[in-house]
Amino acid sequence: MSLENAPDEVKLAVDLIMLLESHELPIDTVLKALEIVKRDFEGKLPSPDQGEG
């Protein structure tokens, strides 16, 4: 599958992987950081009673 035709989330994931690998950080540090990022973005999701607007 060509990355050119891949869904946006796959393209973003590949970009993030390349960025993180280029910094040569310990894997556990990267995973901990990704958990923080995940929690942050989940907190930005609208709650079910708020709707999307």
Contacts of 46 (CB under 8 A, 6+ apart): 52
- Full-model pTM: 0.75
Confirm if 3 and 10 have CB atoms less than 8 A apart.
yes
The Cα angle at residue 40 between residues 24 and 19, in degrees rounded to 5: 20
Residue-wise pLDDT for 26-51, tens only, equals 999 999 999 999 999 999 999 888 76
| Domain layout of the chain by residue ranges | 3-43
Contacts of 14 (CB under 8 A, 6+ apart): 3, 6
Residue 53 confidence (pLDDT): 55
Residue 22 confidence (pLDDT): 97
